[in-house]
Amino acid sequence: MKKILFLTGTRADFGKLKSLISITQASPLFEVYIFSTGMHMIEKYGKTVNEIYKSGFKNIFEFSNHDAMERMDINLATTITGFSNYVADLKPDLIVIHGDRVEAMAGAIVGSLNNILVAHIEGGELSGTIDELIRHSISKLAHIHLVSNDEAKSRLVQMGENGENIFTIGSPDLDVMNSDKLPQLEFVKNYYNISFKKYAILIFHPVTTEVSELKKQTQILLESLVQSGENYLAIFPNNDLGSNIILNEYEKLANNPRFKIFPSLRFEYFLVLLKNCEFIIGNSSSGIREAPYYQTPAINLGNRQNNRTNSKHVINLDFDRELIVKSIQNILTTNTPSKDFDFGDGNSDKLFYELLKDENIWKTPHQKQFLDLA
């Protein structure tokens, strides 16, 4: 029986991993473990490790990699130490990581240095900030690539990766988005005590290379939203350098009845709210990935998601109050464009499972070679 170890550090990557964990944990072929760290362990951000337990998963190991400092390098080092010790005891056959966070980087480093196969989900994508450097670094350390589309596969080949180890499975969160088990909107609204009939969603994360500009950017954004006169569900940013700057500005909205602010939302419940909102605004990948699938308009601000999508559903803007307010007005008075989405068909879990059943995947070479383009 093969041991598979999933590493998750945020509510976002857990949403991507959830269907893959479910299908493998239900199988007699695999012994599945989960290493929960990062934002999952922080009370301030809702301690979302509880959502992992509520999903019915077992073999969950909790590890706190944060202290009071917003230092990504220290968090990386701490995660490497904790994950390495856990891996030494568990001795997994495969480590599965997602995306471009330092926790995923730690997983790739530990796996590659300990001669353990590493599978990286959603490599070969662009974002335009430090996240992109982390994502590509993880790809160079990983042995197996599970990508969203052929464009991402082409980038990995361009980076010298072996095409035989790159598999297009789509974006795994579509497995959950497609589910007929998602709750009804009214149930979710009641669960979170949301009284708004119509609302938009705000998710704004810090860009670590632009921290000096972050306070002004946040102020312009929030002033624009107040001026728009719409209702907003705001979700805390991730805990990268600068997150406290954003949270301090959010505190100024505490008495504004048009804003309701949450540390975190359960992934399935968030999807229901996203599907039924007027639009999403900020710089979250949810506006780039999930929103277009639901044909939900998105306003993407700044550089965090640079070059990530050409979807007609996404409006890319700089931090300009007049343009932001005007774009909100246009969204509310314009018909939504037809679906344009190229991140799979919502069967990533089945493709992943079939891949793991193939004995050849377990023979993937641990020693990688850079392959020049022909």
Angle in degrees, CA 225, 290, 8, rounded to 5: 105
The candidate with the shortest Cα–Cα distance to 111, out of 68, 153, 144, 135, is: 144
- Beta partners for 316? 300
Topology of domain 185-333, per CATH? Rossmann fold (3.40.50)
Amino acid at 76: L
What is the structure's pLDDT at 346? 81
**Contact of 273 with 233, CB cutoff 8 Å:** yes
What is the structure's pLDDT at 340? 67
- What's the token pair of residue 70? 């917003």
Give the sheet arrangement for strand 232-235, strand by strand.
Answer: 259-262, 232-235, 200-203, 280-282, 298-301, 314-317
For residues 207-245, one letter each, b for 16 or more C-beta atoms within 10 angstroms of the residue's C-beta and e for the rest, the string is bbbeeeebeebbebbbebbbebebbbbbbbbbbbbbbeb
Question: Structurally, what CATH architecture does the domain formed by 2-177+346-363 represent?
Answer: 3-Layer(aba) Sandwich (3.40)
What is the structure's pLDDT at 241? 86
Question: pTM above the 0.85 mark?
Answer: yes
pLDDT tens track, the chain, 374 positions: 999 999 999 988 999 999 999 999 999 999 999 999 999 999 988 899 999 999 999 999 999 998 655 688 999 999 999 999 999 999 999 999 999 999 999 999 999 999 999 999 999 998 767 888 999 999 999 999 999 999 999 999 999 999 999 999 999 988 999 888 899 999 999 999 999 999 999 999 998 889 999 999 999 999 999 999 999 999 999 888 899 999 999 999 999 999 999 999 999 999 999 999 999 999 998 998 889 889 999 999 988 877 666 678 899 999 999 999 999 999 999 887 777 667 777 899 999 999 999 999 999 999 999 999 97
Amino acid at 157: V
Q: How many CA atoms lie within 13 A of 323 on its CB side?
A: 11
Domain segments of the chain as ranges:
2-177+346-363, 185-333
